[in-house]
DNA sequence: TGCTAATCGGATGGGTCATCCGGATGACCC
DNA sequence: GGGTCATCCGGATGACCCATCCGATTAGCA
């Protein structure tokens, strides 16, 4: 799977670049490869060789979180309650998007630059689609909601939280409130039914 | 109100610039003043004198639509049915955001560059707040939704529609579906109650 | 028609971005 | 342990985009 195991110094620099990228993302600074190189104490050429574009670095930074989400998505399929499974899936996904700034742009992007990202997103959407289909078949969600609506709605919630602003702790609370509102609109039959 | 009535050629150029800006916005091209000048057949300096930044031009382009929304907002206050008034207000606002690409960035921006924009947004938010408060007092909306949530949620819907993509006609349909879902989550008592 | 003040509009300087190539270094084999 | 080679490092470099400034021009007015 790894065509060339990467030389020792190259691997060290790779880690360094990703670490700086993660730090920049966390503090909300837009990724500029020239800037990343300066902060990492590494030549500009090295950074551009490892990551052809800021998007490539961003996707790399987001990969671990995407992997966790994809894993949780597959695991949610085991839940016998269709509505609870969908609810948990959406909750976890939205909270991850709000908590990790690298996720929102990657999930909203129509095109990916890393194959791994495409693969993970495909897995994640596949889980979401199945969960939504199951819930619809059980009659617990609006029938006019298609699988293609799942991603936009989650991105919309994340964006709404961003527009609302506030401290990180407050933002998670906001996200939960917005998601609860949306879920209330998604659900057809009351929870007690 | 108009400190200096603007010279004839200056007014002509102003109109020309706004027209080009409107055209660019409609076709989804990001506003670059240098580019606007070239397309309008006008010197770069002239464009920068009329509009200090791309945001200023964007806000100018969006102003007519904002004025219409603000007018409708005040008019909605006359509706005796609190829920129907709020519903109509949100519907009109979201549809305008989806139909006019200049609106979304302006409404989502925390800071404005034109005083007129700030004034119109303030009017609009004021109407929205009143409508929401009235609906909450009537017990027809979730009690945990604050006035500050109105703008983020509408921007979130508009963003979700954008992520969903598709042709303009399809986008309005998508917007209506998303808004219906959100409204279903907002409402506490069924419409017939 | 001539004067004045405002406007026009391109040439110009600063800044950012991505690339390229000579020097250096790690990996492998003898 | 030493030599050879492929790979990597990293800053200097060129191209591009943006915003400003000032000489030339034109509209408004007596």
**Percentage above 90 pLDDT, chain A:** 88
**Residue B24 and residue B8: Cα distance in Å, rounded?**
25
B112-169: per-residue pLDDT in tens? Answer: 999 999 999 999 999 999 999 999 999 999 999 999 999 999 999 999 999 999 999 9
Q: Is A163 on the interface with B (CB under 8 A)?
A: yes
List the one residue out of A148, A29, A161, A133 whose CA is nearest residue B149.
A161
Q: How do residues B144-159 score in pLDDT, each as one tens digit?
A: 999 999 999 999 999 9
- Could you give the angle at which helices A168-186 and A150-164 cross, rounded to 10 degrees? 140
Residue-wise pLDDT for A167-187, tens only, equals 999 999 999 999 999 999 988
Identify all chain A residues contacting B103, using CB atoms and an 8 Å cutoff. Answer: none
Give the integer Cα–Cα distance in Å for B152 and B63. Answer: 20
Q: Could you give the residue range(s) of every CATH 1.10.10 domain in chain B?
A: 7-51
Which part of chain B is CATH 1.10.357.10? 61-186
Choose among A110, A144, A164: nearest Cβ to B152: A164
Task: State which fold the A7-51 domain adopts.
Answer: Arc Repressor Mutant, subunit A (1.10.10)
Is B148 near chain A, with CB under 8 Å? yes
Residue A189 has pLDDT above 70, yes or no: no
Q: Is A171 helix (H, G, I), strand (E, B) or coil?
A: helix
Q: How far apart are CA A188 and CA A143, in angstroms?
A: 9
What's the CATH number for A61-186?
1.10.357.10
Distance A14 CA to C24 C1' (A): 18
Give chain A positions within 8 Å (CB) of B180. Answer: 144, 185
Out of B148, B177, B186, whose CB is closest to A181?
A: B186
Rg (CA), chain B: 19
Residues 6+ apart with CB under 8 A from B111: none
């Amino acid at each position: 799977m790894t065509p060339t195991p990467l030389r020792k110094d190259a691997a060290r620099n790779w880690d360094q670049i990703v670490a700086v990228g993660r730090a920049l993302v966390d503090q909300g600074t837009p990724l500029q490869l020239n800037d990343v190189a300066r902060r990492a104490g590494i030549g500009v050429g090295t950074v551009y060789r490892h990551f052809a574009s800021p998007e490539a670095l961003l996707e790399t930074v987001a990969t671990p979180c995407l992997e966790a989400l994809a894993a949780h998505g597959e695991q949610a399929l085991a839940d016998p309650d269709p509505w609870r499974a969908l609810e948990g899936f959406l909750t976890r996904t939205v909270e991850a998007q709000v908590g990790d700034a690298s996720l929102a742009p990657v999930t909203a992007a129509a095109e990916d630059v890393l194959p791994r990202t495409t693969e993970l997103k495909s897995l994640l959407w596949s889980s979401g689609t199945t969960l939504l289909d199951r819930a619809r078949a059980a009659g617990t969600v609006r029938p006019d909601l298609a699988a293609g609506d799942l991603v936009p709605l989650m991105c919309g919630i994340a964006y709404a939280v961003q527009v609302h602003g506030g401290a990180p702790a407050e933002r998670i609370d906001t996200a939960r409130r917005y998601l609860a509102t949306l879920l209330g609109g998604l659900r057809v039959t009351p929870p007690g039914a």
